Structure 1
Amino acid sequence: MGPALMNVDLNSVVLALVLGLIFLVLFEILRIHVSRGRTPPGRRPFPFVGTLPYFIKDPMGSARSIHHYGEMATEYLGRQPVIILNTVQITKEALVQEASTFSGRPTLPLIDWITNGLGIIMVTFGHSWRQQKKFALNTLRHFGLGRKSVEERVLEESSYLVAEMLKAEGMAFDPQHAVQNAVSNIICSIVFGDRFEYDNKHFAYLLNILNENFMLTGSPVGQMLNLVPFIKHFPGPHQKILQNSSELMAFIRKKVKEHRQTLDPENPRDFIDAYLLEIEKQKIHEDSTFHDENMVMSTSDLFLAGTNTTTTTIRWGLIFLTENTEVQERCHEEIVQVLGYDRQPSMDDRDKLPYTYAAVHEIQRCANIVPFGVVHATTQPTKLRGYDIPKGTMIMTNLTAIFSDKKHWKSPDTFNPENFLDENGHFYKPEAFIAFSVGPRVCLGETLARTELFLYIVSLLQRIHFSWPLNSQRPDMDGILGAVRFPHPFKITCRSRDAKD
């Protein structure tokens, strides 16, 4: 009787589990049906995982197709609805006209795991964000952001970058490290008070793990942790994200320790010095958010944001300029006509270089490095175009749709600087160009990025001709979608230009 009863009990347990699973699936299907009736239209989500399978299968194809559902659409990150804004008009209505309501950040387990709710970029909209952003902006400006001093740093670094690239003249080489080191050196000089040589192996390693984390956080590995947060307690590829973050934090903490030991309160050298002084200054205020861990995370945010996005844009730029030789040659001719071969460019030259300046913007449009912008969240219940949107709803801007909207672009589907030129050949910026977002959470480093993009690209085109190596395979233009959209690894060939050309 014992084995028979045990068999009956086992069968009952299995039956109960099967019935329970069926009930959960049916309940989830019903919940999805009810949810879809309350939200803007969009693709039918799968139970529990939402529309993530579509993105995993074809990220950029998915991004390009969402606008067919109208100016607003709904995707699902697991069980959570995500409202997608597909036009520039509704984006500005939400992020500018209703800024306080749409400027939050969602609670994402992966981000919280890495940041502990600290820093600037992904911290929720509130007191800490306001304090940290205001301090960061004021400090960056104090150390040259938007002034000639930063411009001079970029120009000095551009001469090192040109020389570094021409070391491989005539040979096929991957420009990623040289470009990333050059870009990173600018934010490093502001934040750490130092730059790093291109052959510094430790810094090269840090840049590599930085790239790896940008890849992993937007990959299926990162999204799985957002769906099933408890897996952070178990081994797996997701642990590499925390390991890389910890190494970057250790590098910053070491820099903070060095700064604390050599700090001169009368002569702050950089962002870290200024932050150390602000911690002391704010100790008398109970609501201060200035402390060591926030300093480390805010420094990390500036370092990461000031390195990866501009680097990725320039790498895409090299692809577009190499692929479109007529654009590259026209830019070079304009640059040489205005600057010659020896005078370095300045930001004051933008009006004199309208075609080149347009090409720089066209690189940003076509690179589209953050196809859905940085995710926002509603800070309170609201309405948008007749839809009720609960507090905490994730909001994304479909820059892929906005940057290819036929209403705003002459050549929406091709690389063409004419998109940024009027009928008289003068530069103009269409309303739909919102590469740095809009509203209170506009990119903190916009001014620095604009300076770097223009001066680096002009300096490179002035001195170097770029071409594809013989018999090379062109990179897949969809790229790799992580936290940003990276180009696939590629190699190019450099040839020095001079007056004899």
Structure 2
Amino acid sequence: MGSVLKILDLNSVVLALVLGLIFLVLFEIMRIHFSRGKTPPGPRPFPFVGTIPHVIMDPAGCVRSFHQYGEMATMFLGRQPMIMLNTLQITKEALVQEASAFSGRPTIPIIEWMTNGFGIIMATFGHSWRQQRRFALHTLRNFGLGKKSLEERVLEEGHFLIAEMIKAEGKAFDPQHVIQNAVSNIICSIVFGDRFEYNNKRFANLLKILNENFMLMGSAVGQIFGLIPFIKHFPGPHQKILRNADELLGFVRDEVKEHRQTFDTENPRDFIDAYLLEMEKQKSREDSTFHEGNMVMSVVDLFLAGTDTTATTIRWGLIFLMENPEIQERCHKEIVQVLGYDRLPSMDDRDKLPYTHATVYEIQRCANIAPFGVVHATTQPTKLRGYDIPKGTMIMTNLTRIFSDEKHWKSPDTFNPENFLDENGYFYKPEAFIAFSVGPRACLGETLAKTELFIFITSLLQQIKFSWPPNSQCPDMDGIIGALRYPHPYKITCSGRDAKTDRQ
């Protein structure tokens, strides 16, 4: 009799659990139906996980599909809605005209885990962010941003990059490390006061883990962490993200420690020195946000933003140039006609090199390294095109659609520098080119990135011919969707150029 009762009790528990699960699922389906009625249209979310499965299964296809829902679309990260702005007009309306309501940043568990809310890029829209961004812009300008001195640093690094590539002349090699190192050296010279040799193993490892973390944060691992952040207390692949972040933070803290030991208040050498000086100036102010945590994360933000974005754009650029050798040759001929083989390019040469200038911008458009820009969040309850948008709602810009909208581009679906040339062959920038975003949270490194991209790409095209190795082919152009859109690994071959070889 006792065993029968036990079986009945067990059956009752199982039945209660099954019925409870059914009830939860039905409740979730009803909640989804009710929520979707309040938000712009979008792909149908799954219970509890939202549209994350769509993103994981086909990230590139998912990115391309959002514009079909109209000027605004909604996807769900778990149970949390995220609104996608699909047109240039509505993007400017939100991020520029209604900037105060749309300039926040959401709390993203994986970012919060690594940064503790410090820094600039993902900091909450408020007093700390304003102080840190204002100081960063002012200090970057003091150390060359927008000046000839910075241009000279980029030119010098371009010379090192060309020499490193020519070392492998005729041999197939992966250009990722040398490009990433060259680009990173520019921001390192501003932030740390020094550059790093291409064979520096510690720095090479740092660049490797930086790239690895960008990939992991946008992968299924990062998406799952966003759904169930308490997994941070358990072992798993997500722990690699924190280990990598800790290694990067440790590198920065070592640099700060070394700077403190050699710090001269009368002669600040770089961003870290300037920050140490500002901390000393503001230590008596109650509203100061200048402290060790913000210093380390601000340095990391500048290092991250000044490395992977531009390096990834150049890596995509080499693919487009090798796939379109006629464009590569036309750029080279224009550069040589204006500069010859010996004079290095400067930003003043852009007007004399309209086709090359247009090619640099077309690389950025087609590379589309941040398909959804950087996520924003509403800072207050607001309205947009008749929809009530609660405070804290995530907002993203569909750059994939804006950069391929036939309303704005002559050749939206092909790599064609004519997209940035007027009827007279002069360079012009269409209004829809918003690769650096718009509004108060536009990229603070825009001037630096433009300088690097023009000088690096022009210098490379002047001195080197790029081609695919024998029996190789172009990688899948959908790329790898992580925190950025990366090209699949590939190899290239380089041939040095001069007047003699070009005549042959």
Fold match (TM-score > 0.5): yes
CA drift at 1:292: 0.6
TM superposition score normalised by structure 2: 0.99
Supply the AA of the counterpart residue of 2:327: V
Supply the AA of the counterpart residue of 2:417: P
Structure 1 unaligned regions, length at least 5: none
CA drift at 1:140: 0.4
Q: Distance in 2 between matches of 1:10 and 1:262?
A: 71
1:419 is matched with 419
1:388-431 C-alpha deviation (Å, 9 max, x unpaired) = 00000000000000000000000000000000000000001111
CA drift at 1:495: 0.2
TM superposition score normalised by structure 1: 0.99
Alignment of 1:219 with 2:209, yes or no, is no
Give the count of matched residue pairs: 501
1:114 is matched with 114
Matched position secondary structure for 2:349 = helix
1:15 is matched with 15
2:342 is matched with 342
Q: Distance in 2 between matches of 1:13 and 1:452?
A: 65
1:278-312 C-alpha deviation (Å, 9 max, x unpaired) = 11111111011110111001100000110000000
Supply the AA of the counterpart residue of 2:251: F
CA drift at 1:169: 0.2
2:322 is matched with 322
1:36 is matched with 36
Structure 2 unaligned regions, length at least 5: none
Matched position secondary structure for 2:283 = helix
1:162-215 C-alpha deviation (Å, 9 max, x unpaired) = 000000000111000110000000000000001000000110000000000000
CA drift at 1:2: 2.8
Mapping of 1:266-285 within 5 angstroms? Answer: 266-285=266-285
Matched position secondary structure for 1:75 = strand
2:45 is matched with 45
Supply the AA of the counterpart residue of 1:65: S
Q: Distance in 2 between matches of 1:13 and 1:124?
A: 46
Q: Distance in 2 between matches of 1:368 and 1:234?
A: 35
Alignment of 1:103 with 2:103, yes or no, is yes
1:304 is matched with 304
CA drift at 1:53: 1.0
CA drift at 1:4: 2.3
**Larger displacement relative to structure 2 (51-60 or 459-468):** 51-60
Mapping of 1:168-317 within 5 angstroms? Answer: 168-317=168-317
CA drift at 1:3: 2.3
1:416-457 C-alpha deviation (Å, 9 max, x unpaired) = 000000000000111110000000000111000000000000
CA drift at 1:119: 0.4
Matched position secondary structure for 1:76 = strand
Q: Distance in 2 between matches of 1:460 and 1:446?
A: 21
Q: Distance in 1 between matches of 2:3 and 2:326?
A: 82
CA drift at 1:9: 1.8
1:3-53 C-alpha deviation (Å, 9 max, x unpaired) = 222222221111111111111110110010001111111111001111111
- RMSD of the TM alignment (CA)? 0.6
Q: Distance in 1 between matches of 2:78 and 2:152?
A: 47
Mapping of 1:114-153 within 5 angstroms? Answer: 114-153=114-153
Matched position secondary structure for 2:383 = strand
Percent of aligned positions that are identical: 80
Supply the AA of the counterpart residue of 1:367: A
Supply the AA of the counterpart residue of 1:238: H
Matched position secondary structure for 1:173 = coil
1:395 is matched with 395
Q: Distance in 2 between matches of 1:421 and 1:474?
A: 27
1:229-248 C-alpha deviation (Å, 9 max, x unpaired) = 11111000000000000000
1:404 is matched with 404
Supply the AA of the counterpart residue of 1:49: V
Supply the AA of the counterpart residue of 1:320: F
Matched position secondary structure for 1:245 = helix
Matched position secondary structure for 1:73 = strand
Supply the AA of the counterpart residue of 2:233: H
Mapping of 1:158-177 within 5 angstroms? Answer: 158-177=158-177
CA drift at 1:113: 0.3
Supply the AA of the counterpart residue of 2:113: W
Alignment of 1:493 with 2:493, yes or no, is yes
Q: Distance in 1 between matches of 2:372 and 2:413?
A: 18
Matched position secondary structure for 1:408 = coil
Q: Distance in 1 between matches of 2:8 and 2:138?
A: 72
Q: Distance in 2 between matches of 1:125 and 1:17?
A: 44
Q: Distance in 1 between matches of 2:306 and 2:117?
A: 20
Q: Distance in 1 between matches of 2:57 and 2:315?
A: 25
Q: Distance in 2 between matches of 1:132 and 1:7?
A: 65
Supply the AA of the counterpart residue of 2:297: M
Q: Which runs of 4+ in 1 moved over 6 A?
A: none
Mapping of 1:355-370 within 5 angstroms? Answer: 355-370=355-370
Q: Distance in 2 between matches of 1:29 and 1:374?
A: 30
1:84-135 C-alpha deviation (Å, 9 max, x unpaired) = 0000110000000000100000111111001101100001100110010000
Mapping of 1:389-468 within 5 angstroms? Answer: 389-468=389-468
Q: Distance in 1 between matches of 2:439 and 2:402?
A: 16
